[in-house]
Every structure is written in C-alpha cells, then in structure tokens.
Amino acid sequence: MVEDVLSRWRGRSMAAGWSLADDWWAPEVELTVKAVCEGFDPSQACWALGSARAGAGVGVAEGLDDLAALFAVSGMGEPPFAALRSFAAGWAERSFAPMEELHCEDPLTGLVTVAYLRTRLTQLYRGPVAGMCLVVAEPSEGARELAERLAAALNLATALRGAFPGDETLALLASTRVAALTENDERLPGRLARLRASEILYGRRPEVRVRPLPRAYGQALALIRTLSLDP
C-alpha cells in the first residue's frame, strides 16, 4: 500500500506542475507517506518534510500543495491543520533562522510560544501584577478551511505587532488565537481600537478581549491553559 500511495502521490504532484521533478523524492518523503498510510500522527514527519523541501529550494506554497496531494491520493481528504502547520514550521525554520534563535518562538508566526509565555509570567509574578492584562484576539468567526486557518494565524500575528509595537510579550496561544501581555494604561484603548480595526479574513475583523491577570500565579497558568485550547 505504501509503495502504491507513494507512486500516486508523485504522479499527482508531477501532473500539478511540480517544478523539481528530479528532486521530488527524499528520505522525508518516505517517512511522511508511511506515517499517513499507517495511521500515525504525521506532524513530526511533515515538519521534517517541510525542512527538506526548503533545503531543496521548494517554495512553501508548492510544498503545501504537494503535501495536500499525498492526503488526496491516500483517500484522507484535506491534510489536518497540525500537519500543514508542522510542514510550514519546518520549512520556515530551515529557510529563515538558525535553530538557536527559534527555541522560544513559533516559526510560522514569529510570536512566542505558550511555554515562553509561562516563563514570562513566572518572572512577572515575582512582583506586583496589578494593572497587567492579556489582550486576546481571534477571528470573530471560526476559520473553517485549513488554508483560512493558516492565513488567519499569520494575519493575526501581523495585526498584533501593529497594535503593540513596543516591548510587550506577543504570543501564539492556539492555532488561531494570539495575545499580548501588556499594561492596562492610557495607551491601551487606542491599541485595542487599532487591533479591532484590522482585517483578518475576507474583510472580517478580529474579536478582541481584555483579560486582567489574576492575583495568583496558579490562576494565571490556568487561564493560559484554557486560552491555549483550539477553538
């Protein structure tokens, strides 16, 4: 079955205009097709495939189309979001930055990870946290298609940076949910207005909430855990 799917995957990608026919096969191709055909979580294999495609000079859009071809010929429909995101992360890490610079960042959006946000909260709760808050933004309507979810994550990250251009901690909480750890001061209303005016998908604006930090560190961690769940 694996060899059959591998052959049909290559054929579909070639028919769709794969630009590097001689370089299509790679060891990571074998890992990915085996993970998909044998029912394993393909995220790690997709990350490795994305990295390999970037190393071969394949663009991210062409690489994602190729990955979608695998899931199509295997009868599984569209790739799951986790597989697409892992591929894009592997591609971005190989293309844009050394490993040591990305250990605390999400490679796709450039926002810090939830793990880093927890570390930042640990530091913050060593002193008073009164006046600190999390500004949370996500699409006002759920992004249904996988491509829309990727676009929403990237657009939310751009909008968050535009609204909070200072030294605030900007984090990716879930696949389409971002947050800024910031002070609730006189600048916040203007920043919220700018964030709410941003276009995320097809002219839609994000839903923005302000969550004051709880008094207790444990409550803050519980809040982060809840916000980290995918919508």
Q: pLDDT digit string (tens) for 185-217?
A: 999 999 999 999 998 877 889 999 999 999 999
In the predicted structure, residue 4 carries a pLDDT above the cut 80 = yes
Alpha helices (H) along 144-203: 146-163, 188-196
Alpha carbon distances (Å) from 155 to 136, 147, 161, 175, 226:
14, 12, 10, 12, 22
Q: What are 192's two structure tokens? A: 């919220």
CB contact at 8 A, 138 and 206: yes
- Parts of the chain belonging to CATH 3.30.70.270: 114-227
Alpha helices (H) along 16-80: 27-37, 43-55, 60-73
Distance CA 170, CA 164 (A): 8
One-letter amino acid for residue 84 of the chain: L
pLDDT band at 54 (very low <50, low <70, confident <90, very high): confident
Tell me the HSE value of 58 on the side-chain side, using a 13 A CA sphere: 31
Phi first, then psi: give them for residue 171, nearest 5 degrees: -130, 150
Distance CA 37, CA 20 (A): 24
CB contact at 8 A, 149 and 176: yes
Identify which has the larger pLDDT, 72 or 95: 72
Distance CA 150, CA 147 (A): 5
* Mean pLDDT across 64-85: 92
* Mean pLDDT across 3-27: 87
CATH architecture, domain defined by 114-227? 2-Layer Sandwich (3.30)
**pLDDT for res 162:** 96
Distance CA 89, CA 85 (A): 6
